[in-house]
Structure 1
Amino acid sequence: MKDQIEVYIKNFVKEYPDKKGTTIKWQEPLIAYGAAKNPMFHKLKEVITPSHALPTDFLQDAETVIAYFLPFEEVVVKSNSNERESSELWGRAYVETNQLIFDLNSYLYDMIGTLGYKSTILPATHNFDQQLLISEWSHRHVAYIAGLGKFGINHMLITEKGCCGRIGSVVTNLKIEVTEIQEEEFCLYKAKGICGKCVKNCVNDALKIDGFDRHRCYEMCLYNDKLLTDIRLADVCGKCMVGIPCSYTNPMKK
């Protein structure tokens, strides 16, 4: 079953640009699997918000959380490396990847259904409290529990293909062998106390070595959205993800 799910995801992402005529393309996805009853999901109610959902809130008989990372091509990342404002290509990548995640999850819903199991169709974003700016289903934290990567000090999930991309997740009652969470850190600062380039890249003084002001961050995202007027809602920034050692890879394995 695991191999079949991975074929579904990878082929869908590979064929998507030609089928949908998107501006961007994606590298091959990374996929990981977490046990739906892992106690770590309950800890998200302490770490993020008491109202953070559990997998069983979506499916009573949930067995697995499938998490996947859709890495941007280098041209997208490099386009966002220079100016204070987000590039148009970065904004389009955000919008098109959000749609890809919805379409992929809808496809998986159908394919998993043909195997005799159930799954969820979860949106990529904008399912957060507009005042607190806290998500009630954090794809990044869910992906961490599934073993897809480790958090950097930029609060992004660093995968084996870096942090420049988008994360999606699916809850299913199909039981799949889980991915182990690696013990070692992927972030150079967390592991060795060096780097910190993501903090230097922050253009609105939102990110610190030891803290993060999510409201200042979102203020910049909304500023960029007003500039990207010919794109659907593109509340993006991404400066803390580009031009740094973990943009494209796990720097601890170099």
Structure 2
Amino acid sequence: MRETVEKYIKDFVKGYPDTKNTETRWLEPIIAYADAKNESFYQLKEVVTPSHGLPTDFLEDAKTVITYFLPFEEEVVESNIEGKESSRTWGVAYIETNQLIFDLNTYLHEKIQEMDFESTIIPATHNFDEDLLISEWSHRHVAYIAGLGKFGLNNMLITEKGCCGRVGSIVTNLEIPPTEVTEKEFCLYKAKGVCKLCVSGCVNGALQVEGYDRHKCYEMCLYNDKLSGDLGVTDVCGKCMVAVPCSFKNPMGK
């Protein structure tokens, strides 16, 4: 069943740019699975927000959480290296990837139903609180539980294909064995105390070794949104993700 689901995901993403005529191109996704009853989901109510959802909030008989990472092609990442403002290409990638996640989850939902099982259709940004700047279903944290990657100093999920991309997830009562979770760190700073290029890449000082000011970060995201208002909501930045060792890979190796 795992092979079937992964083929659905990879084939859908591969064909999406031509099907939807998108500017953005993505590399092959990577996929990981979590047991819906994993106790770590309860910990997200402490780590993220008390109102963070559990898989069973979406599907009463949930068995598995499927998570995936959609890596951007190099052109998207390289476009965002220069300057203080987020590149237009990066903004377009944000919008188009959010739509891809919704469309992919809708497609998976249909395919899973064909197998006589159920699943959710969770958008890329689910119940985002604009005051707390926290989502009630954090795709990144859920993917961390599934073993898709590890959090870096930049608060991004570093996967085997880096951190430049977007994470999506769905909840299903289709039972798939969970992915093995490694204890190793993927972030050079967390593993060896070196690098910190994400901190120097932060254009307004929101990211520091000592901590992260999410409100200051969001100020920069809103600034970029105003510059690209014709695209739709592009409250993004991404400067801490580009031109760093973890942009395209796990710098610690497997």
TM-score exceeds 0.5: yes
Equivalent residue, structure 1, for 2:141: 141
SS in 1 for 2:198: helix
Who is 1:74 aligned against? 74
- Cα separation, 2, equivalents of 1:49 and 1:71: 27
Which one-letter code corresponds to 1:86 in the other structure? S
Structure 1: gaps of 5 or more residues: none
Q: Structure 2: how far apart are the matches of 1:127 and 1:234?
A: 17
Q: Which residue of 2 aligns with 1:19?
A: 19
User: What does residue 65 of structure 2 align with?
Assistant: 65
Aligned twin of 1:35: 35
Percent of aligned pairs with the same amino acid: 69
- Confirm or deny that 1:112 pairs with 2:112: yes
Work out the CA distance in 2 between the residues paired with 1:79 and 1:129.
Answer: 29
User: How far off its partner does 1:126 sit?
Assistant: 5.4
- Provide the residue aligned with 1:231 in structure 2: 231
In structure 2, distance between residues paired with 1:253 and 1:207: 25
**Residue deviations 1:39-97 (CA, integer Å, cap 9, x gap):** 00000001111100000000010000000000000000000001100000000000000
Aligned to 1:214: 214
C-alpha offsets along residues 142-197 of structure 1, whole Å, 9 cap, x if unaligned? 00000000000100000000000000000000000110111110000000000000
Whichever residue aligns with residue 168 of structure 1, its letter is G
Paired residue for 1:88? Answer: 88
Q: Could you tell me whether the CA contact under 8 Å between 2:163 and 2:249 is conserved in 1?
A: yes
| 1:128 Cα offset (Å) | 1.2
| RMSD between aligned residues | 0.8
Question: Any stretches of 5+ residues in structure 2 without a counterpart?
Answer: none
Contact 2:126 2:136 in 1 (8 A): no
The answer to whether the Cα contact below 8 Å between 2:158 and 2:250 also exists between their aligned partners in 1 is: yes
Give, in whole Å, the separation in 1 of the partners of 2:116 and 2:101.
Answer: 22
Q: CA deviation at 1:210?
A: 2.2
Deviation, 1:214, is 0.5
Matches for 1:198-209 after TM superposition, within 5 Å: 198-209=198-209
Aligned equivalent of 2:51: 51
Bigger shift: residues 127-136 or 191-200: 127-136
Report how far residue 229 of structure 1 moved. 2.3
Instruction: Supply the distance in 2 between the matched residues of 1:167 and 1:48 (Cα, whole angstroms).
Output: 16
